[in-house]
Amino acid sequence: MCTKWIVLFDNEGVDTLIPWTDVQEDIIIKKLSGENLNGHQSPLSIVSRTIMRAQLNPQRNPEVWAYNTAGDMDVDEMRQLWIDSPQYMADLIRTKGDQLFGSKPGTKKTPVIV
């Protein structure tokens, strides 16, 4: 099983790392168990706020990406990869991920309308 991630990184390294799969699973489990979701953040609002954070800090050249890992990884393992090898991780994500926000030269953007 793969893990889906949303990451915001910039000149200073990784800023926000969201285990998207875990967030989705938590919401599904809470809905099925009948818990009240009032005040709970929807996945879309989390991503929207991450992109807004990137838009409000253009001086740091922020990029927001979505990517998958082949196996299950917890957030601590992924954060450690970003701490140990930030440039490698950024280059890997730029090659394999889908860009949600950013304008750094050399990055790709998936067109909305082809």
For residues 20 and 98, what is the distance between their CA atoms, to the nearest angstrom? 14
Residue 114 is predicted with a pLDDT of 47
Instruction: State how many domains the chain has.
Output: 1
Its domain, for residue 96, covers: 3-101
Assess if residue 92 is contained within a domain.
yes
Return the pLDDT at 111. Answer: 54
How do strand 63-69 and strand 3-10 relate by DSSP bridges? antiparallel
Q: Is residue 62 part of a domain?
A: yes
CB 68 within 8 A of CB 3: yes
Can you name the residues that pair with 69 across neighbouring β-strands? 3
So what's the pLDDT on residue 83? 92
Is 42 inside any structural domain?
yes
Residue 48 maps to a domain: yes
**pLDDT of the residue at 75:** 86
Q: Which of 111, 110, 77, 107 is nearest to 9 (CA)?
A: 107
Residue whose structure tokens are 């818990």: 35
User: Does 75 fall in a domain?
Assistant: yes
Name residue 7's beta-bridge partners: 17, 65
Quote the CA–CA distance of 13 and 86 in Å, as a whole number: 6
Asked if the structure places residue 112 within a domain, the reply is no
Structure confidence at residue 34 (pLDDT): 77
Report yes or no on 82 lying in a domain.
yes
**DSSP 3-state of 23:** helix
Element (H, E) at 67: strand 63-69
pLDDT in tens, the chain (114 residues): 688 899 999 988 899 998 887 776 777 777 677 777 666 667 778 888 899 999 999 888 899 999 998 877 888 999 999 999 999 999 999 999 999 998 665 555 555 554
The stretches of the chain forming alpha helices (DSSP H) are 20-32, 43-55, 75-84, 86-96
pTM: 0.78
pLDDT at 64: 93
